[in-house]
Amino acid sequence: MNIFKFIGMTLVTSTLVIANTNLDKKIKDAGLKAIPANKTELMKLIDPKNTISDEKVALGKQLYFEPRLSKSGIISCNTCHNLGLGGVDGVPAAVGHKWTANPHHLNSPTVYNAVFFAAQFWDGRSPDLEDQAQGPMQASPEMAAPQSLVVERVNSIPAYIESFKKAYGKDVKVDFKTITATIGIFERTLVTPSRYDAFLNGDKKALTDAEKEGLNLFIDKGCTACHTGIALGGTMQPFPAVGKYKYANIGDFKGDKNGMVKTPTLRNITETAPYFHNGAIWSLKEAVQEMGRTQLGADISDADAAKIVTFFGALKGKKPEITYPQFPASTEKTPKPDFK
């Protein structure tokens, strides 16, 4: 080996070692947290008051994929929060009942790791997943189903009543709140541990050097002011003031009471284009640069943005394996599909 090349490599290696030593402290200061490697710790973190059980999760999964919870009978939670597409639909604004786009031009946020958010919806108007699930099911441009229709459909199918009894006891009332809460309980399990978590949990080889460099930049540029905590976003409440994203005046979305928009999680971000609450940007690199300009007042170079995106690749998590559910058949009492 050429001696100069050898010295050069040694220097590069030494720099990385120093950078990585600093990285531990930087990560701590930035408030970045791993998904616990230990399942017991993880369950403590995601278990709601209404305790998770296998029966509730299995039933919640069925309901999550169940198109008959929509007025038409052809739209399910999974239509806009597709568990095969990073938990989103991959379109700028969700399109639902009667082919209606979201009137506020809002982009469907991912359901993966949403359990970690301090509040749900882009304006944070919902406290948790159980509450959130009530929204899209009723919203006229989404699933468009009145509560009474959802309750009547589910109660007309004896196999569903049996499943609710198994999950909650024989005296369960299968009302709208219980139906939607069960979906929320399933969604709590949609957590995606990644190489980034392995790294934070102590496996120093879990990230490549390029990814570590990207992580360093991500912290140094100040992205962690908002993209912090276990989900790298969405964990601060009220929303950080810097969250007032002014990129594009599409739609009439007003944000929370302070006019702020929730910081989205960066987990699985390489899978969830287009970006921002209005789905305005398709390129992840451009999205990073846009955030630099509008939120941090900083021009992030092409090279640096690319490095940060390289780090984002390590946030792609392992998705829970989902067996596609079999739905019990409708009966003659089941309210018919309604496309109007």
Task: Report the catalytic residues.
Answer: 142
Q: Please choose, from the candidates 77, 74, 48, 84, the residue with its C-alpha nearest in 3D space to the C-alpha of residue 62.
A: 77
Least Å from the CB of residue 98 to a copy of itself: 5
Q: Which positions lie near a copy of itself, rule CB under 8 A?
A: 65, 67-68, 72-74, 79, 82-86, 89-92, 95, 98-99, 101, 270-271, 273, 282-283, 319, 321-327, 329-330, 332, 336-337, 339
Closer Cβ to a copy of itself, 65 or 239, answer by number? 65
The Cα angle at residue 214 between residues 213 and 219, in degrees rounded to 5: 100
CA angle 243, 247, 251 (to 5 degrees): 95
Angle 305-311-313 (CA atoms, 0-180°, nearest 5)? 110
Q: How far apart are CA 62 and CA 184, in angstroms?
A: 12
Q: What are 17's two structure tokens?
A: 């070692």
In the bound complex, what is the minimum distance in angstroms from residue 311's beta carbon to a copy of itself?
16
In whole angstroms, the minimum distance from the beta carbon of 60 to a copy of itself comes to: 15
- In the complex, least distance from residue 53 CB atom to a copy of itself, rounded to whole angstroms: 21
Exposed e or buried b for every residue in 291-321, given b needs 16+ CB within 10 A?
Answer: bbeebeeeebeeebbbbbbbbbbbbbbebee
Task: Give dist(CA 193, CA 245) in Å, integer.
Answer: 28
d(C-alpha 295, C-alpha 297), whole Å: 6
